[in-house]
A and B are shown apart, each in its own frame.
Chain A
Amino acid sequence: MTQETLLKISSSPHVHSGNSISAAMRDVIIALLPATALSIYFFGLYALAIIVTSIASCLLAEYASQKFRKVDITINDYSAALTGLLFALIIPPATPLWLVFIGGTISIVIGKQVFGGLGNNLFNPALVGRAILVASWPVYMTRFVSPFDGVTSATPLGIIGEINKQFAGGLIPDTNLMASLPPLSTLMTGSIAGSLGETSAIALILGGLYLIFKKHIDWKIPLLYISTVFTLALIFNGPYDRLWYATYNIFAGGLLIGAFFMATDWVTSPTTKKGRIIYAIGLGLLTFLIRKGAGLPEGVAYSIILMNMVTPLIDRYTRGRVFGEVKKHG
């Protein structure tokens, strides 16, 4: 080899792990497949229509925003598709398709692209979409139906919220209301009224474990989030059996899908180890506080949005010491 054919040089390292954002996003979509399949089983082809509409609106919004911002089009990196799928899974199964389309668009445009696209958003995009829809179209966003027959019915947490109100008002809770709560076993399979993909505990846990196994998420976030809610429910059990109420709080509502799939979102959760612990416990506190004390039956979405908001602060104040930085007092 002569001087004329100089080799190209480059900076180390000369090898890469092969990790990629799109592979991780794809894995999250895979992890959501059991819950997605069950939602179609429980709520029929209309559920599929919601999912397709939601994903399509997200992809379209991503494409249009990126065209408008004159940046690279990245609709095939699975990130917008994941937002679309997540958004579909956290809205009621009877949501009209036009509203789904608006929600998906809001998720991407207001939830993500106005901040500068992937990596820069402060809030979980799907949750932004949901929160805005709940505020703007509350009638549609609070009408839940039971699986298979599509009859309007209350969610388990909705029933518990009713009972809580009676109990807080000094009344003896209505026994009929108590009896109408579905048993824990039904919560596990998911044959209950609720948002599309949040009803089946087993499907969500399965997906969550897959993400932990693939090392995409920090197991400490779901574990601490769920155990904080569990512990608080054990202590402040109201008129219920302690253990039953604590377990019920985990499996009912959006806690599992929130803990495994949204609280663990890379972009919007803290990056420091200590920070993730504070974040997860904060999530648990807020969720239980809203469920127990606020006028709303469910608090997962708002808790995550609120904790997303303090994530930069948590990161700043939980920066660890550098290796070799002298420990104080010895």
Chain B
Amino acid sequence: MKKATFIGGTHIDSFKELTNTYESKKANPPDFVYIPLSQHIGSPCEAKLCVGEEVKMGQVIGKTLGFVSAPIHSSVSGKVVSIEKKAHPAGRFVDCIVIENDKQDTLDGSIVDEPQPEQLNKEQLLKKILDAGIVGLGGATFPTHVKYSPPADTIIDYIILNGIECEPFITADHRIMLEYPEEIVRGLDYILKTTGAKKGIIAIEDNKMDAIQKMNLVCDCHANIEVVICEEKYPQGSEKQLIYAVTNREVPVGGLPLDVGVIVNNVGTAKAICDAVEKNMPLIERMVTVSGTSVDTPSNYIARIGTLFSDLINQSGGYTEENNKIISGGLMMGKTMYSDEVPITKGTSAILVLKDDRKKAPKEQACVRCAKCIDACPAFLEPTRLAILTKRKEFDRLDTEQNIMSCIECGTCSYVCPANIPLVEYIRLGKLGVTKNKKK
């Protein structure tokens, strides 16, 4: 069978063997959880309770103020200690609700098993997804109910579940597929019903043959769901590249997957939707990979939202090296943290702890026009050209002539560059310049 793929990209050592064969563990519930009121793309939530109030597990603690938003629930039962600004993995300081965990896990009254989930209609399903605070768990954290509310005349042909996980080290989605295959497929069924799409596709990279087998087994009895095997190549998991690989459709520049009749969801999101529909369980925990070369026992955890990075790193046996860097997310696109005292949010797929070798990094040299960046760019841009134009501050050309805004910042160009030019950093600056220029 021919494997689906996209044009461009590169191969990267995966390091997935550190964690991919070990069953995920339930992380020990922490004494305190720090739940940020902004864990999604869109308007932040407003705190719904006061300091000193008792909360139950799964209770709404942050309510939405706009349509593009998602409510936030307590991941433990206990007492609100404070509402304060805390460091957020996205890099800013964000209002957090700090809850002291009573370790009772007393469930909120709304969390009851749905007697006949298959009877629910479109609107009821959409409401459950909204109420459960479901956002894209692949890392983008776009509110899922917004994705499922396209303009009235939009026809959705495919729902693609993204089980690619092309970033090195991360195996969270891999473990979800191995441990919750039925939930994923039932979740996909609900998504198909909610969106009216005819076909569901589960896309998995060929370095996860066990997950492919398992998902195939479950999908066998679903005529409208298919598993598609993709070639292992970075950034295969990028939404637009995945859509091209699987359906041969190209999302137009500046457009959305909806424009080509496709919605992409992470496999973890499908599992969360299944829990939301069948158990009325909101999104209060997620699978997190704790890995890297400087952590004692790399593992996957099902961790409560609001658990501190340091807590999970300690549960993994702690640091094995001095002087580390901590990355939230992947090696290629994740963000480095300035502290390990940041909470896990809905978008935290991985915590990587690596030896800090940045001092040894080679110096940026002149571009030798080798074109490796151009050949590897999955958006068909000319990264070296974009970097040069950014240095010259030619923002108009960057925008209209070079289409710089099409850059998905996957980092492939910086990765392959033999001159060690931080291309993606220049491009980010260039994009910033273009945005500022337009506002003028």
The chain A residue sitting closest to B8, CB to CB, is A323
Residue of B nearest to A326 (CB): B252
Of B379, B384, B418, the most chain A CB neighbours within 10 A belong to B418
Report yes or no: B240 in contact with A14, Cβ–Cβ below 8 A. Answer: no
Q: Which of A1, A21, A272, A273 is B340 in contact with, Cβ under 8 Å?
A: A1
> Does B428 reach chain A (CB closer than 8 Å)?
yes
The tally of CB-CB contacts under 8 A between chains A and B is 146
A15 near B12 with CB under 8 A, answer yes
CA distance A8 to B324 in the complex (A): 9
Enumerate chain B residues within 8 angstroms of A326, measured Cβ to Cβ.
252-253
Closest B residue to A77 using CB positions: B365
Complex interface residues of chain A between 110 and 155 (CB less than 8 A to chain B): 116-120
For A119, the closest partner residue in chain B by CB is B366
- The answer to whether B380 touches A322, judged by C-beta atoms less than 8 angstroms apart, is yes
Q: What chain B residues lie within 8 Å of A322 (beta carbons)?
A: 253, 379-381, 403, 406
Decide if A10 touches B336 in the complex (CB within 8 Å).
yes
A12 lies within 8 A of B378 (CB): no
Contacts of A237 in B (CB 8 A): none
**Chain B, Cβ-Cβ closest to A319:** B382
Interface status of B54 (Cβ within 8 A of chain A): no
**Contact yes or no, B326 A7, CB < 8 A:** yes
Give the nearest-CB partner of A118 in chain B: B366
Tell me, in angstroms, the Cα distance from A326 to B255 when the chains sit together.
11
Question: Are B411 and A13 in touch, CB under 8 angstroms?
Answer: yes
- Answer yes or no: B30 CB below 8 A from chain A CBs: no
Known: A1-B339, A15-B168. A21 touches B368 (CB 8 A): yes
Q: Are B415 and A119 in contact, with the CB atoms below 8 A?
A: no
**Across-interface contacts of A97 in B (CB, < 8 A):** none
Min Cβ gap B283→A in Å is 26
* A23–B418 CB distance below 8 A: yes
CA distance A167 to B332 in the complex (A): 64
Whether, in the assembled complex, B61 has its beta carbon less than 8 Å from a beta carbon of chain A, the answer is: no
B105 to chain A, nearest CB (A): 29
Residue among B336, B354, B374, B420 making CB contact with A9, cutoff 8 Å: B336
A169 to chain B: which residues have CB within 8 Å? none
Picked from B325, B368, B371, the residue with its CB within 8 Å of the CB of A119 is B368
- From A12, A17, A272, A321, contact of B335 by CB (8 A): A12
Minimum Cβ distance to chain B for residue A43 (Å)? 32
Q: Is A70 an interface residue (CB 8 A)?
A: no
Residues of the B chain whose Cβ atoms lie less than 8 Å from the Cβ of A1:
310, 339-341
User: Would you give the 0/1 interface string for A35-58, flagging 1 where the beta carbon is closer than 8 Å to chain B?
Assistant: 000000000000000000000000
- Contact of B370 with A24 in the complex, beta carbons under 8 Å: yes
A9 & B253 in contact (Cβ 8 Å cutoff):
no
Tell me the chain B residues, 134-151 only, with Cβ under 8 Å from chain A. none
Whether the Cβ atoms of B354 and A20 lie closer than 8 Å is: no
Does A325 reach chain B (CB closer than 8 Å)?
A: yes
Q: From A20, which residue of chain B is reached at the shortest CB distance?
A: B418
Return chain A residues, CB-CB under 8 Å to B253: 322-326
In the bound assembly, the distance between CA atoms of A274 and B436 in angstroms comes to 34
Q: Is there an interface contact between B250 and A324, defined as CB atoms closer than 8 Å?
A: yes
Most buried by B among A3, A21, A273, A323: A323
A179 near B: Cβ within 8 Å?
Answer: no
- Whether, in the assembled complex, A16 has its beta carbon less than 8 Å from a beta carbon of chain B, the answer is yes
**Distance to closest chain A CB from B413 (angstroms):** 9
Question: Contacts A8-B358, A324-B240, A326-B252 given: A17-B336 contact, CB under 8 Å?
Answer: no
Closest-by-CB residue of A relative to B259 is: A324
Contact assessment for B335 and A324 in the assembled complex, using a CB-CB cutoff below 8 Å: no
| A252 CA to B339 CA, complexed, in Å | 65
Question: When each residue 378-390 of chain B gets 1 if its CB lies under 8 Å from chain A and 0 otherwise, what string results?
Answer: 1111101000000
Residues of chain B within 8 A of A185, CB atoms compared? none
Which residues in chain B, 315-346, are within 8 Å of chain A measured between CB atoms? 324-327, 331-341
Q: Report chain A residues within 8 Å CB of B197.
A: none
Q: Are A14 and B369 in contact (CB under 8 A)?
A: no
Determine the distance from Cα of A310 to Cα of B371 in the docked complex, in whole angstroms.
17
From residue B399, how far is it (CB to closest CB) to chain A in Å? 12
The answer to whether A13 and B358 have CB atoms under 8 Å apart is no
| CB closest chain-A residue, reference B384 | A271
Contact between A320 and B380, CB atoms less than 8 A apart: yes
A13 contacts B414, C-beta separation under 8 Å: yes
Within 8 Å of chain A (Cβ to Cβ): is B422? yes
Quick one: which of B353-376 are within 8 Å of A by CB? 354, 356, 358, 361-362, 365-372, 374-375
Chain B residues near A116 (CB-CB < 8 A): 366
Q: Tell me, in angstroms, the Cα distance from A9 to B367 when the chains sit together.
A: 25
B305 touches A (CB below 8 Å):
no
- Complex contact A19–B416 (CB within 8 A): yes
A323 x B378 contact (CB < 8 A):
yes
Chain B residues whose C-beta falls within 8 Å of the C-beta of A321 in the assembled complex:
380
How many Å lie between the Cα of A323 and that of B382 in the bound state? Answer: 12
Q: Which residues of B contact A19 (CB under 8 A)?
A: 372, 416-418
A272 contacts across to B, CB distance below 8 A: 371, 374, 382
A21: nearest residue on chain B (CB-CB)? B418
Contact indicator B362/A20 (Cβ below 8 Å): yes
A-B contact pairs, 16 of them (CB 8 A): A8-B325, A8-B356, A10-B325, A12-B424, A14-B336, A14-B354, A17-B10, A17-B12, A24-B370, A266-B368, A266-B369, A271-B382, A323-B250, A324-B240, A324-B253, A325-B403
Extra contacts, 12 of them, besides A7-B340, A323-B244, A324-B379 (Cβ < 8 A), are A8-B325, A8-B338, A12-B334, A14-B331, A14-B354, A17-B12, A19-B372, A119-B419, A266-B368, A322-B380, A323-B7, A325-B252
Lowest 5 A-B CB distances belong to which pairs?
Answer: A13-B411, A119-B366, A271-B371, A19-B418, A266-B370
Q: Which residues from chain A sit less than 8 Å from chain B, CB to CB?
A: 1, 3, 6-17, 19-21, 23-24, 116-120, 218, 266-269, 271-273, 319-326
